[in-house]
Amino acid sequence: MTSRFHIMHDPRFRLVHQVTQRFSDGPDGGQIRLARTGFTLDPAIKKKAEVYPAMLIATHPAPDTGNLYSPVRGVVSDVSERYVDIDVKPAQPDDPVMPVVDLSSLEGDALLEGLKNMGVDTRSLSQSVDTLIINALNPEPGIMWAEPMLATHVRNLKLGLELHQRISKAHKVIIALPKGMNAAYEGLEVAHIEPEYPNSLDPLVIKAITGKENPPGVGIVGLHALWGLGRVMVTGQPLTETVVTVASCCHTGNYIIKDGTRVCDLFEHANVTVEKGDTVVVGGPLRGQSISLLARGLDKHTTGVFVVEADSIPPLDGDSQCVNCGACALVCPARLAPDMLSRYAEFAKYDRCRAGHIEACMECGLCGYVCIARRPVLQYIRLAKHKLALEDNRLA
């Protein structure tokens, strides 16, 4: 892997580790904005309706997508095709309390259905494997919640792993840790990975540990997903929280936030200021998506929120032409030709994208990072993947 990076000795590709900073609570007041695209609203959810913690907001027709629940007590202030806005109100002594759900007696499909009804996405949990790998590396440069989570949320992670093993039937569990972190966990084998991006991507972690690409009988799960499973087991309530890293030039911190927390409220809570010309990225610095509205709500899959200061990197140019330098092909860990894939996608030649094995793209973002023409290479590839998925669903 090192040889692929001979053109960019960039310390920003080092994954953060040996961090001991604990978690802070996110904002409590303000407004919650829940993303509801693809969900079917519960008939009781309409403007001015009162909602309570763990109250059902919407269901999803897909069997492997978790339902949507309110994380707060409040009043629905707006319902649109994309969002449900909730004005947060103080809890009252006579508020209804949702019953605790015990999943310990469920197995197989009944357990998967129970998790869906607890707001957990199960698409990555339904396969049976012999070996399960826990990816305990921070997923991208700048994200730093992995080691504090291992140190302070032991019960959460233990219960999440036990639940995952009940589903996957894994006989062997290996935890992937960054080199330099000396730790031992009962019943788990330990493997060490060089903490340099993109080594933290799931397919590359599997390759580093097994020596094979896509080996049969091997599954992988990240700490973020295990934390969510464990949270459901600890609380007996639907999953309405997530863990994120918030970072800017002046502040870095880990927060446990409610589903639907708005970016603007989180920044105000963390004393993060966005100046004119700055870019706000939801997700990681390399794989995340920039947003234009700070009132956007964060969902349960969010791992980080970053402020990229103006003029710190050159902007992308959607009209810029590829100069055929080949830098993206040199750094691609999937051994693809991102230059050609992005050009095919730019001109809607999606069949050629499929022929170029676009489905093997890990969406690591390195192609866009090294592009001297500043083309939105990753965005073009994601567009093509989306269009191909729509076509596949239409033909199914």
- Domain 240-308, CATH: 3.10.20.90
CATH class of the region 27-88: mainly beta
Query: For residue 45, which phi and psi values (nearest 5 degrees)?
Result: -90, 110
Q: How confident is the model at residue 251 (pLDDT cuts 50, 70, 90)?
A: confident
Fold of 10-17+106-233: Rossmann fold (3.40.50)
pLDDT at residue 298 above 50? yes
How far apart, in whole angstroms, are the C-alpha atoms of residue 329 and residue 143?
Answer: 26
pLDDT at residue 6 above 60? no
Question: Are the beta carbons of 13 and 196 closer than 8 angstroms?
Answer: yes
Q: How confident is the model at residue 3 (pLDDT cuts 50, 70, 90)?
A: very low
| pLDDT (mean) for 235-251 | 94
| pTM greater than 0.75 (yes/no) | yes
Averaged pLDDT score across all residues of the chain:
92
Q: Mind listing the pLDDT tens digit for each residue in 66-111?
A: 999 999 999 999 999 999 999 999 988 888 888 999 998 899 899 9
Domains of the chain, by residue range, sit at 10-17+106-233, 27-88, 240-308, 327-395
Q: Mind listing the pLDDT tens digit for each residue in 31-48?
A: 999 999 999 999 999 999
- 279-282: strand order across its sheet: 23-25, 252-258, 241-247, 304-308, 279-282, 289-291
Q: How confident is the model at residue 249 (pLDDT cuts 50, 70, 90)?
A: confident
Token representation of residue 87: 């004005």
Q: How far is CA 249 from CA 163, 272, 274, 290, 350, in A?
A: 39, 9, 10, 17, 39
Q: Mind listing the pLDDT tens digit for each residue in 141-195?
A: 999 999 999 999 999 999 999 999 999 999 999 999 999 888 888 889 999 999 9
Query: For residue 104, which phi and psi values (nearest 5 degrees)?
Result: -65, -25
